[in-house]
Amino acid sequence: MDHGLPPRARIAGLGHHLPPRVVTNDDLAQLMDTSDEWIRERTGIRERRFVDDGTSCTDLAEAASRKALENAGWEPDDVEFILFATLSPDLFFPGNGARLQHQLGLGPIGALDLRTQCTGFVYALSVADALIRAGQYRRILVVGAEVQSRGLRMDDDGRDTAVLFGDGAGAACVEASDDERGFLAHSLHSDGANALDLCVRKPGSLQVPFVSAEDIAAGDTAPHMNGREVFRNAVRRFPEAIQEVLTATGTPASELKLLVPHQANARITEAVRRRMELPEEKVASNIERYGNTTAASIPIALSEAVEEGRVERGDLVCLAAFGAGFTWGATLLRY
Q: Which residues bind ligand COA (CB under 6 A)?
A: 34, 38, 42-43, 118, 159-160, 163-164, 225, 227-228, 230-231, 264-265, 268, 292, 323
Of residues 31 and 109, the one with the C-beta less far from ligand COA: 31
CB of 136 to ligand COA, least distance (A): 31
Say whether 292 is catalytic. Answer: yes
A 10 A CB-CB count for 191 gives 12
Nearer to ligand COA, 157 or 215 (CB): 157
Return the number of the residue (7 or 227) whose C-beta is nearest ligand COA: 227
Q: Please report how close the Cβ of residue 117 comes to ligand COA at its closest, in angstroms.
A: 7
Minimum Å gap between C-beta 161 and ligand COA is: 8
Let me know if 199 is a catalytic residue.
Answer: no
Return the SS3 of 317.
Answer: strand
**DSSP code for 209:** S
> SS3 for 58?
helix
Nearest to ligand COA by Cβ — which residue? 227
Residue in 16, 262, 265, 318 annotated catalytic = 262
Is the Cβ–Cβ distance between 322 and 34 less than 8 Å? no
Residue 89 or residue 120: which is nearer to ligand COA going by CB?
A: 120
124 contact partners, CB below 8 Å, separation of at least 6: 83, 84, 85, 114, 142, 143, 144
Kindly name the residue from 71, 96, 233, 292 that is annotated as catalytic: 292
The answer to whether 303 touches 170, Cβ cutoff 8 Å, is yes
64 to 110, 186, 260, 304: CA distances (angstroms): 19, 24, 18, 12
Rounded (10°) angle between helices 266-275 and 36-43 = 20
Q: Is the CB of 268 or the CB of 305 nearer to ligand COA?
A: 268
Distance in Å, CB of 151 to ligand COA, minimum: 14
Of 99 and 237, the one with the shorter C-beta distance to ligand COA is 237
Sign of CA dihedral 168, 217, 192, 128: negative
Q: C-beta of 268: minimal distance to ligand COA in Å?
A: 6
Alpha helices in 53-147 (DSSP H): 57-72, 96-103, 120-133
How near is the Cβ of 244 to ligand COA at its closest, in Å?
Answer: 19
Catalytic choice (118, 173, 199, 318): 118
CA–CA separation, 298 and 280 (whole Å): 17
**In 104-177, where does DSSP find H-type helix?**
120-133, 159-162
Q: Mind telling me the catalytic residues?
A: 118, 262, 292
